Chain A
Amino acid sequence: MSHNNDQPDLRRRDFIGKTVLAAGAASIAPGVMLTVANAGSDAGVSSKVRWGMLIDANKCADGCSACVAACNQENGIDLIERPAGQSDAMWDAQRPQWIHKVKLKDNLTGEITNLPMMCQHCEHPPCVDVCPTGASFKRADGLVMVDRHTCIGCRYCMMACPYKARSFIHQDVAAQRTGTPRGKGCVESCNLCVQRLDAGDQTTACQDACNREGYQAILFGDLKNPDSEIARALKAHNSRQIRADLELNTGVRYSNI
């Protein structure tokens, strides 16, 4: 099969949907629409780029969690303190996890697979569709993020995300990093290290960490640029989306699972 990027052409549907939506919204409440448009500040971000990832499950090592540690540090997740007296189980269930490792076993062959899971940066993100305030938004360059000023903490996006990629902040946060503001009562998830990208960097913390360990399981880059390493890799090898049946056209792809 030559068609190994299951990237449906949804431009037409998208266009019609947006036109109807815009026409409707413009006639109902222009003021409201303005707020919506502002929430996902796209200033300086181009839709000529779509950031994405290709993860090679064959290269992802059993027992390694370098990417998780790097993400926690980059995004200040390790600064969140465990509430006094909280049990291990509850802490694990409540602490934010932007990226986590999963180990799988095939029911038939018994083959073992390791891979990291995080927000898949869907092209048609259910989290954005359901968010009542528009706090969940997709940037022109494909990053799906949460605007922490308009998030009301309803957690509907967490219910809607098919990948359970989102975390709710269950307690007060004292220390945080400037690049990643965080507040009690809001939802957050992987943003592909937006602070790095906006500063002109082209790598994510998890990818750097994986490379440092010598595994090179994570490839990050611009899906729309045919000359980028990731676009070439996607063209050359079979890859898949997790739950491709939902047709969300994820920006994070996996090979060898």
Chain B
Amino acid sequence: MKKMQYRELYCSSPRYWGGLAFLAFIILVGMGAAFFMEHNGHFVTGMSNQIVWGLPHVFAIFLIVAASGALNVASIGSVFGGPMYKPLGRFSGLLSIGLLAGGLVVLLLDLGRPDRLIVAMTTYNFKSIFAWNIILYTGFFTIVGLYLWAMMDRKFAQFKRPIGFAAFFWRLALTTGTGSIFGFLVAREAYDAAIMAPMFIIMSFSYGLAFFIITLMSAYWWADRTIGELRLAKLKNLLGVFVGAVLYFALVYHLTNLYITQHHGVERFILLDGGIYTSMFWIGQVVIGGVIPLFLLYSPAFGHSRLALAVASLMVLLGGFFQVYVIVIGGQAFPMNLFPGKQVLESSFFDGVVAAYTPSLAEALLGIAGVAVAMTLVAIGARMLRVLPESLEDPEEGECV
């Protein structure tokens, strides 16, 4: 068997530096936006006492969920021993660290008091799932960091499997924790479903893999290295399965909600007459994020098209973004029913009416900067560490049996 050679992403080309400069620019703009919001206060955003978590949270949750899924390839490679995935494990670890960091930066900069980070890190309320999440995130960095090390350093090779297992379970816990943030909001109808946590796990598989495919393809394009047909086909099939599963879970989620009479209101809202949220659900989540990618992935017409795979992955991400948007913002916009059997005639606090939310530019810039942070970390990491195999040509006949 040919030995897998890993090499730093070495390219002095303007492609690499140009790309990095572009990412740095986006980050700079995003930091400016964050400063603008912190300096003035949240009144310059579209957020209010009704929609308390806005666009930055959508980005943050999306990235954090994807981060845990990006580790999937590594898990398949070393925990479940999939030889086709094994050489991709290192990059998968790096990507998951990058995505998590990107998401956390956004989350942090959207706090009312980001300067109190130290309070958040030292004062814990152990009853709070949010506090547990802080611990889960920190632990994730440590464990995945160790995992990367074990994968890269021969001397630690014997720890690879146990740490791989630890990372695998840790990241399931992390996604469950992220999903549970919503599970604890007992009074909000949209979130009152046991299926929320498993749904987040399957969402993470799908978004994480889509991120993985896109970054892998661009890294190899940047570095002028080759990826074999077979390997891409594997990733492609896997993505197809995950996308299908996300659609399936969404279906189950809405069907269970339709079964529960008290939840008919919120279901009507998302599926039928919620305006922007309904469009986002059907057009964004279902069509862009599900149906079209499935078509691109499975239609024989695009059998070997790399472009189709890249486009499908991008659409999965786009659709996933809409899905998180509908969950986070749509779930808040739908009014809580405090007085069953009664209709709210007047209230100065928007009781009983759908809350309005128009995200501001600054929020969007901060969120996009989070994605850029993730990508920058991956680009720099891949250049400094040996995470990417020299070549991902398909193995010769019989090698992976």
Contact = CB atoms under 8 A, between A and B. Distances in A.
A36 B124 contact: yes
B13 interface: no
A152 B113 contact: yes
Contact of B49 (A97, A104, A133, A150): A97
B49 A21 contact: no
Contact of A96 (B49, B114, B350): B49
A90 B341 contact: no
B162 interface: no
A151 B342 contact: no
Contacts, number: 198
Contacts of A39: 123
Interface in B206-224: none
A103 B348 CA distance: 10
B353 to A, nearest CB: 11
Interface in A104-156: 104-108, 112-113, 117, 126, 128-134, 150-156
B130 A130 contact: yes
Given A117-B349, A159-B53, A32 B122 contact: yes
A152 B116 contact: yes
B361 interface: no
Contacts of A7: none
Contact of A164 (B112, B128, B186, B349): B349
Contacts of B40: 83, 171-172
B113 A186 contact: yes
A99 B202 CA distance: 42
Contacts of A185: 38, 41-42, 111-113
B396 interface: no
A2 B182 CA distance: 38
Contacts of B49: 93-94, 96-97, 158, 164, 166-168
A187 B116 CA distance: 14
Determine the main DSSP class of B at the interface with A. Answer: loop
Contacts of A235: none
Given A152-B119, A159-B332, A102 B344 contact: yes
Given A21-B126, A35-B123, A129-B128, A105 B343 contact: yes
B119 A133 contact: yes
B112 A186 contact: yes
B129 A164 contact: no
B186 A246 contact: yes
A156 B117 CA distance: 15
Q: How large is the interface on A (under 10, 10 to 19, 20 to 34, 35 or more residues)?
A: 35 or more
B345 interface: yes
B341 A107 contact: yes
A101 B125 contact: no
A254 to B, nearest CB: 10
Given A21-B126, A94-B48, A162-B336, A104 B53 contact: no
A253 to B, nearest CB: 14
A97 B349 contact: yes
A61 interface: no
Given A160-B184, A185-B113, A100 B349 contact: yes
B252 interface: no
29 contacts: A21-B127, A36-B123, A36-B125, A68-B348, A83-B40, A86-B43, A90-B43, A93-B49, A93-B356, A100-B347, A101-B348, A102-B346, A104-B343, A108-B341, A117-B349, A128-B127, A129-B128, A130-B184, A152-B112, A152-B119, A153-B112, A153-B113, A154-B120, A160-B185, A168-B112, A169-B112, A171-B40, A185-B38, A242-B338
Interface of B: 38, 40-43, 47-50, 52-53, 111-114, 116-117, 119-120, 122-131, 134, 181, 184-188, 332, 336, 338-339, 341-351, 355-356
Shortest 10 CB-CB contacts between residues of A and residues of B: A153-B112, A185-B112, A162-B187, A93-B48, A170-B43, A132-B130, A134-B125, A171-B41, A103-B346, A132-B131
